[in-house]
C-alpha cells in the first residue's frame, strides 16, 4: 500500500513504542494535571509538531548525517540533555515550594501567575526536537517498512508518519484526561502534589543522563 510493506507488523511495533514512557508524554501528563485539558492539548500539539519535524528530517536524511558526524551528534545530544536537566531542576524547585507550603491554604492566583510564563507548546516542542535518538529511531524504524522499489518513497514516509501521529494522538489524549483526574487529588493533598512533582523531576534527570550516555 503506497510503498508500505508489512503494515500489521509496523502498527504492532508502533503501539509498543508509543506506550513506552518518555519525556514528551510525561510532560504532557504533568501539564494536564496542573492546568487542565486545554493546556494539556497545547503541550501535546508541541509534541506532534516536534515529531512531524523529526519525521521530515529523517526522511530527508538528516538522521544519517547525525549518525555519521560524531561532533554534530554530541552537540545536539548535550544540548538536549542540558534542557532536560533545566526542566528537572525547575520541577524539583517547584516541589520544594509545594512541600514548604503544604500547611498553608492554596493561593490559586499566585500559582497561576508563576506558571503563566511556562509556554507549554514551546517547551514540549523543544523537548521533542532536542532528542537526536528520536531522529535516529524514526529512520531506523521507518526504513524497515518502506519498499525500496517504490517510486515515491516520500509518500511512504507520509503514510507511516500519519499512523504514528494517530497513535500519539490517542495515547496523549488518554494521558491528558488521566492528568485532569489527578489534578483534583493534587489540589486537595499538597504532599501528594509535591511528591509527584519530585518524581517527575527525578525522571527528567534520568532522561537527561540517559541521553548523555547515548551513542550515535
Q: What's the pLDDT score for residue 67?
A: 64
- pTM (two decimals): 0.70
Q: What's the pLDDT score for residue 48?
A: 94
Q: What's the pLDDT score for residue 165?
A: 92
Show contacts of 152-156: CB within 8 Å, 24+ apart.
152/2, 152/3, 153/3, 153/59, 154/59, 155/2, 155/3, 156/2, 156/3, 156/4
Q: Under 8 Å CB-to-CB from 149, ≥6 apart: which residues?
A: none
CA distances from 149 to 3, 145, 174, 216 (A): 8, 12, 38, 28
Whose CA is closest to 42, among 148, 138, 161, 179?
179
Secondary structure of residue 146 in the 3-state scheme: strand
Please, is 103 exposed, middle or buried when counting C-beta atoms within 10 Å of its C-beta (0-12, 13-18, 19+)? exposed
Residue predicted with more confidence, 93 or 173: 173
Residue 110 in this model has a pLDDT that exceeds 60: no
Residue 133 in this model has a pLDDT that exceeds 70: no
pLDDT per position as a tens digit, 12-27: 878 877 777 778 888 8
Whose CA is closest to 127, among 54, 47, 17?
47
Q: What's the pLDDT score for residue 170?
A: 94
Question: How many Å apart are CA 101 and CA 97, to the nearest integer?
Answer: 6
Question: How many Å apart are CA 1 and CA 150, to the nearest integer?
Answer: 10
Question: How many Å apart are CA 178 and CA 156, to the nearest integer?
Answer: 34
Q: What is the mean pLDDT of the chain?
A: 77
Q: What's the pLDDT score for residue 46?
A: 94
Instruction: Identify the sign of the CA torsion 196, 179, 12, 125.
Output: negative
Q: What's the pLDDT score for residue 101?
A: 65
Helix axes 23-35, 190-212, angle to 10 degrees: 160
Amino acid at each position: 500500500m503506497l510503498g508500505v510493506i508489512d503494515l500489521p507488523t509496523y502498527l504492532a511495533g508502533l503501539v509498543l513504542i508509543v506506550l513506552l514512557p518518555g519525556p514528551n508524554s510525561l510532560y504532557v501528563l504533568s501539564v494536564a494535571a496542573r492546568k487542565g485539558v486545554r493546556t494539556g492539548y497545547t503541550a501535546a500539539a508541541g509534541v506532534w509538531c516536534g515529531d512531524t519535524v523529526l519525521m521530515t528530517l529523517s526522511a530527508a536524511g538528516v538522521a544519517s548525517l547525525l549518525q555519521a558526524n560524531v561532533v554534530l551528534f554530541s552537540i545536539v545530544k548535550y544540548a538536549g540533555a542540558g534542557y532536560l536537566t533545566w526542566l528537572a531542576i525547575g520541577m524539583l524547585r517547584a516541589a520544594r515550594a509545594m512541600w514548604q507550603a503544604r500547611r498553608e491554604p492554596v493561593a490559586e492566583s499566585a500559582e497561576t501567575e508563576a506558571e503563566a510564563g511556562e509556554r507549554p507548546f514551546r517547551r514540549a516542542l523543544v523537548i521533542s526536537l532536542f532528542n537526536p535518538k528520536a531522529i535516529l529511531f524514526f529512520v531506523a524504524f521507518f526504513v524497515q517498512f518502506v519498499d525500496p522499489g517504490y517510486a515515491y518513497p516520500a509518500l511512504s514516509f507520509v503514510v507511516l508518519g500519519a499512523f504514528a501521529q494517530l497513535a500519539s494522538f490517542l495515547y496523549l489524549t488518554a494521558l491528558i484526561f488521566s492528568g485532569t483526574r489527578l489534578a483534583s487529588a493534587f489540589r486537595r493533598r499538597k504532599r501528594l502534589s509535591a511528591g509527584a512533582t519530585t518524581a517527575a523531576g527525578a525522571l527528567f534527570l534520568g532522561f537527561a543522563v540517559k541521553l548523555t550516555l547515548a551513542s550515535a
